[in-house]
Amino acid sequence: MVQDDFERNYFLKDIPLQAAQHKYNDHLNEIKFAEARTTEKVAINDSVGRVSSESVFAKISSPHVTTSAMDGIAIKYGSSIGATETRPITLYEGSDFVWVDTGDPIPDGFDSVIMIEDLERSTGNEVVIRSPVAPYQHVRKIAEDIAAPELLIQKGAVIRSLDLACLGASGLSEVEVISHPKICFIPTGTELVKIGQTPKAGQIIEFNSVFMSALVADWGGEAFVIDPVPDDPVLLEKAVLEVVNNCDILVVIAGSSAGSEDFTSSVINKIGEVVVHGVAIRPGHPVILGSVSGKPVMGMPGYPSSALVTAELFLKPMILNFLSSNQIVSDTLESVIGKKISSPLGEEEFLRVVVGSVDGSYIANPTTRGAAMTLSIAKSDGVISIPASSEGLEEGAKVRVFLNRQRSEVTNTLLISGSHDIALDILASELTSLQNGIRLISSSVGSVGGLLSLSKGFAHMAGTHLLDEDTGEYNVSAIKRHITNEKVHIYDFVGRTQGIMVQKGNPKGIKEVKDLLGNGTKFLNRQRGSGTRVLFDFLLKQSGIDPENIVGYDNEEYTHWNVAAAVSSGFVDAGMGIMAAALASDLEFIPLENERYQIAVPSKFIGSMENVDILLESLLSENLREQIDALGGYDVSLMGNVAAIVG
């Protein structure tokens, strides 16, 4: 055994854990560890547990056509007007109706469905109805679930089984993911024997590499284990040099202490660099952190409990840093419901929610309900149960959330409630690409709903664009009215052009709001409380138009994407929304009003919440401005400015 070039190596220094982590992270940055990552395309059925290397957007809408939600007949809703119990209306197959089953496309020219239970057969091709139907009744509109090109998965997200439904439904067969980091383990020790062998006196079964490999797989890596190397520094050096260039991280198991047969530190120091040897933790204090040939090398203590602790403290963060993501771990937490939820008696309901921490309390908001909704499943953080004996949950009720996402991701989540805007998806992707991995979750409840959420402590910020008809000012008076208990900073986000979206060629010849009347024009509105709805009502008032005279005025959608998808499909002729949505969906656009979409932030969070400060700083990012500006229909010149302080 040749050991002339090696000396017994004692600990360099037991340093505090946080100092060791910072010191080694700095070294990893110096050797550009994370830049060694590569990407690959995989089929979606092979993507579970992988980390997305880019944001994934829907290729097609789901459903991609308008379909029937019931078995029955498709009709023109106007054919049913006037039907009563005493004055029924007879409809004729072909001219007045077409038979449809659940899931069938709605034929051209028809816009509503009457359930088969509500029909009376007259003759072979005639039916009788005794009540009218509303426009779009029992119809599942195009893009009800997913509106292309909606954001499905953020960059750096761990793809879950729940995500596959929305990926497949939106027409995607492959996704780009970060390749598994390769971690090679070198067990050391003359006394080691393989699992399955019967150890003799003085021998030890080598099992550390087995459970370490399983942990690496759980954390998103790919493990390789070579045969144990005896306690010989020359043989250890040879093994390290042979494998280090074929892996992303090298781990030497045992030999990290200061005994007469502990050579790991000496070998690494000879052919590379030892950055840390000895950390003030128990168990695990003899850990070694260094590099060889520009690759991270870790010397892991041989005792299993020490190996596990050091792996969790140093190896796992290295793998996650390489993957630029977090890991999913099942967990439960106590939360508060952010909005009232109704539920039918007699049925136990399992409702999916998104969760964030606001002022020390976890706030849970329900995702979109519906048996056919896949995106709401993918976006959820967990599920709550509503007992069969309950008619629902009151706002502020305490619930237990069964998480399908790691608690650290939930804790690192910012909740923005209020008006929907496409640019928020770009902001969310920008934040997740940062080292902090902040997750921004939007709750599209309308501008008024967002401000009410802020006032109750159910969100960190609100997106709002509420016009004061008297002053022409945006948001200030609304915030004064709805948030009376604290000071609020108003930040400019984007200037937007609101107007009417119509199909290419503008077949109905719409030029202004008055043109929505007559000519058989079918309209799609935004939900009550949204800034877009408030603006539209203001424009109707200016034009002296009774909303009841607009066909479809009461038919609502919650996002600009969904309105654009409905217009693009031809299911409706026009919809109110922003220019960016029209451009993204290749629609024509009649501009009506320029507005300011702003973000309201309680002043108490500024300077006291790091994630809020990072988001506000991101608003000044030139990269973010360029990405949003490239969408078209936005003015980003004021982004990040403090427009006003209220309260």
Q: What is the arithmetic mean of pLDDT over 29-37?
A: 92
Q: What share of the chain is helix, strand, coil (3-state, %, to 5)?
A: 30, 30, 40
Neighbours of 214 (CB within 10 A): 11
Return the bridge partners of 393, or none.
341
Give yes or no for a contact between 64 and 102, defined as CB atoms under 8 angstroms apart: no
Q: Is 592's pLDDT higher than 60?
A: yes
Query: Could you say which DSSP state residue 180 is in?
Result: P
Tokens of 643: 């427009």
Return the bridge partners of 129, or none.
89
Percent of the chain with pLDDT strictly greater than 70? 95
Q: Is 327's pLDDT higher than 80?
A: no
Q: Report the alpha-carbon distance of residue 366 to residue 343 in Å, rounded.
A: 12
Percent of the chain with pLDDT strictly greater than 90? 64
Higher pLDDT pick, 257 / 238: 238
Alpha-carbon Rg for the chain, nearest whole angstrom, is: 31
Render 599-634 in DSSP notation, one character per residue.
EEEEGGGTTT-HHHHHHHHHTT-HHHHHHHHHHSSE
- Per-residue pLDDT, 261: 53
- Per-residue pLDDT, 647: 87
Decide: residue 384, CB within 10 A, 0-12 exposed, 13-18 middle, 19+ buried. buried
Higher pLDDT pick, 5 / 306: 306
Q: What is the arithmetic mean of pLDDT over 526-548?
A: 91
Give yes or no for a contact between 586 and 504, defined as CB atoms under 8 angstroms apart: yes
Instruction: Specify the amino acid at residue 248.
Output: D
Q: How far is CA 179 from the centre of its chain?
A: 21
Q: Is 646's pLDDT higher than 80?
A: yes
Tokens of 530: 């949204």
Q: How far is CA 547 from the centre of its chain?
A: 36
- Per-residue pLDDT, 121: 83
Taking phi over 0 as left and psi of -120 to 50 as alpha, with beta for the rest, 368 belongs to: beta
Q: What is the arithmetic mean of pLDDT over 83-101?
A: 94
Q: How far is CA 587 from CA 131, 140, 419, 510, 526, in A?
A: 36, 22, 22, 13, 18
Give yes or no for a contact between 443 and 415, defined as CB atoms under 8 angstroms apart: yes
Render 476-501 in DSSP notation, one character per residue.
HHHHHHH--SS-EEEEEEEEEEEEEE
- Per-residue pLDDT, 1: 38
Q: Tens digit of pLDDT for each residue in 52-85?
A: 999 999 999 999 999 999 999 999 999 999 999 9
3-state DSSP assignment of residue 274 = strand
Query: Which parts of 483-572 fold into alpha helices (H)?
Result: 531-543, 560-569
- Per-residue pLDDT, 477: 94
Q: What is the arithmetic mean of pLDDT over 470-474?
A: 85
Q: What is the arithmetic mean of pLDDT over 136-149?
A: 91
Q: How far is CA 534 from the centre of its chain?
A: 28
Average pLDDT, the chain: 89
Q: Report the alpha-carbon distance of residue 295 to residue 285 in Å, rounded.
A: 22
Q: Report the alpha-carbon distance of residue 277 to residue 23 in Å, rounded.
A: 12
- Per-residue pLDDT, 255: 63
Confidence bin at 6 (pLDDT 50/70/90): very low
Burial annotation 40-74 (CB, 10 A radius, 16+ → b, else e): eebebeebebbbbbbbbebbebbbbebbbbbbbbb
- Per-residue pLDDT, 10: 46
3-state DSSP assignment of residue 43 = strand
Return the bridge partners of 497, or none.
594
Which H or E run includes 370? none
Length of the chain: 647
Decide: residue 420, CB within 10 A, 0-12 exposed, 13-18 middle, 19+ buried. buried
Tokens of 34: 């994370």
The 3-class SS string of 71-93 reads CEEEECHHHHCCCCCCCCEEEEE
Q: Report the alpha-carbon distance of residue 449 to residue 517 in Å, rounded.
A: 29
Neighbours of 620 (CB within 10 A): 11
Decide: residue 268, CB within 10 A, 0-12 exposed, 13-18 middle, 19+ buried. buried
Neighbours of 535 (CB within 10 A): 22
Q: Tens digit of pLDDT for each residue in 102-133?
A: 999 999 999 999 999 999 987 779 999 999 99
Q: Residues 338, 343, 349, 353: what is their CA dihedral angle, to the nearest 10 degrees?
A: -20
- Per-residue pLDDT, 2: 42
- Per-residue pLDDT, 539: 93
The whole-model pTM stands at: 0.69
Q: What is the arithmetic mean of pLDDT over 293-318?
A: 90
- Per-residue pLDDT, 197: 78
- For 181, phi then psi, to 5°, come to -70, 140
Which H or E run includes 289? strand 288-292
Q: How far is CA 6 from CA 230, 232, 264, in A?
A: 15, 10, 10
Q: Is 326's pLDDT higher than 60?
A: no
Q: Is 518's pLDDT higher than 60?
A: yes
* Ranges 23-27, 449-453, 467-471, 535-539: which has the least confidence: 467-471
Residue among 536, 496, 505 nearest 631 (CA) = 496
Instruction: Specify the amino acid at residue 512.
Output: E
Instruction: Specify the amino acid at residue 562.
Output: N
Decide: residue 205, CB within 10 A, 0-12 exposed, 13-18 middle, 19+ buried. middle
**Given the structure tokens 């840390």, which residue do they identify?**
276
Q: What is the arithmetic mean of pLDDT over 354-365?
A: 93
Q: Report the alpha-carbon distance of residue 5 to residue 87 in Å, rounded.
A: 105
Neighbours of 627 (CB within 10 A): 16
Q: What is the arithmetic mean of pLDDT over 619-629?
A: 94
